Amino acid sequence: MRGIGVSLLFVGALLTATGYGATFLLTEHFRSLGGSEIETGKVLAGAMVGTFIGVPLIGWVGARFGGARLAAIGAVLVTAGYLLLAGVASLSNTIVIAGFMVGCGWGMFYLAAPMAVSERVSDLDRGFWFTRFGAFQMAGIGGGPALALFLVDTLGLSTASLFRLLAFGCVCAAACLWAFELTTPRPAQPHPGSTGAPRNWVTSIVPLAGTRAIYPILMVGIGACVFTGMLTFQSSLARGSGLDASLYFTTYAAVVVVARFTLAPAINRADGNRMSVLLLILMSAGVLVYFAIGYGASVQVVSGILLGLGYGLVYTVIQTQVVNDAPEAHRTGALTWFVVSYFIGIFGFPAIGGWLIVHWGTQAFLVVVLVCALAELALALARNRSRASSAAVLNAPRA
């Protein structure tokens, strides 16, 4: 890949991810309509259901239609969801439908865009391009909320107008992704049915449950709860301390982008088992530090740095683990379940988190997020022990 095609892909990824990142401001929008974090949870629960449509759809038809085209369609669905949210004048079940569209669209993009990259690069270059693609995607996810807060708080833009602006950005993203498909053709596929997810990816969870691949599948879902908890409700967490949530978003986004370009190559060469534990310790520390938010903005910055380093880098480590730990016949199913688990956490946890904040307060919410972080760390340690035990059995002398 080279030339204008690569630029189109990266711009499309940045704009679509910015649209997804702005879901972290849903609570601000619903507060203006008399709602609360509970409405945010409802929208993201609808988004979770949407991903159950979008993710399998890509697995089934991706090889036939091409990843870039399907990613563009996903961006259009995100556009429709934001336009629906912008047009809602009162709280109703329409917000759940809007969430469904955003979730389905983001789920399609999340699988199809990396597929578009993978279709056009060699095995040797895949890590290089995935690292750079991921940096643009994470820049949108983390930087989008900071930009959105600037437009709302500093320039006085209403959240409804912001959503319309985001919808326009996602339309531009769709155009970029479709143009990428046209300007950077895919190499000929060996056989129409030789790629993509197998039709029985759902039942593959049964054999996977008996392998170490089940650990990263569970870990990514629990880790997603930590990520979405800290970012989706950052405005609610910062409000009580009089701090600016955009500082957290900006810090997180900057750390992730810099780390992806500078540290990711070294992490890829390191022992993934030990590295996953180290990164999850950093992520857990990022949540723990936030309990001292009353001490000021410096706590926000430290927490954002730790979360950016920990969560921002551990995803690719455990993604590699799920492939390596799965039997070869079930690797595509393992990756599909990995993504499904991620989306269950990303869009499912806010329904619980919103209820906790409204009924129990932010401190109780942070306790639950910290428990999730420690649970993922415990699973990483359990996986490593399981691996060590298996190695000991294989290396034991035979009578």
Assign residue 342 the CATH number of its domain. Answer: 1.20.1250.20
Residue 341 belongs to a domain: yes
Q: What confidence score (pLDDT) does residue 58 get?
A: 80
Q: What confidence score (pLDDT) does residue 179 get?
A: 94
pTM (2 decimals)?
Answer: 0.81
Asked if 280 and 333 sit in the same domain, the reply is yes
How many CA atoms lie less than 13 Å away from 116 in the CB half-sphere?
A: 32
Per the structure, the complete domain to which residue 223 belongs is given by 204-389
Q: What confidence score (pLDDT) does residue 225 get?
A: 96
Domain count, the chain: 2
Q: Cα(218)–Cα(58) distance, rounded to whole angstroms?
A: 22
Q: What is the pLDDT of residues 138-182, one digit of tens each?
A: 888 888 888 888 888 888 899 899 999 999 999 999 999 999 988
Res. 396: pLDDT tops 60: no
Res. 83: pLDDT tops 80: yes
Q: What is the pLDDT of residues 294-316, one digit of tens each?
A: 888 999 999 999 999 999 888 88
Asked if 118 and 23 sit in the same domain, the reply is yes
Which one of 182, 212, 247 terminates a domain? 182
Residue 192 belongs to a domain: no
Burial of 120 (0-12, 13-18, 19+ CB in 10 A): buried
Asked if 173 and 211 sit in the same domain, the reply is no
pLDDT band with cut points at 50, 70 and 90 for residue 61 = confident
Asked if 384 and 341 sit in the same domain, the reply is yes
**Structure tokens of 141?**
């996810």
Residue 197 belongs to a domain: no
Q: What is the pLDDT of residues 89-106, one digit of tens each?
A: 778 888 999 999 999 999
Residue 199 belongs to a domain: no
Q: What is the pLDDT of residues 216-262, one digit of tens each?
A: 999 999 999 999 999 988 888 887 777 888 899 889 989 988 888 88
Asked if 163 and 21 sit in the same domain, the reply is yes
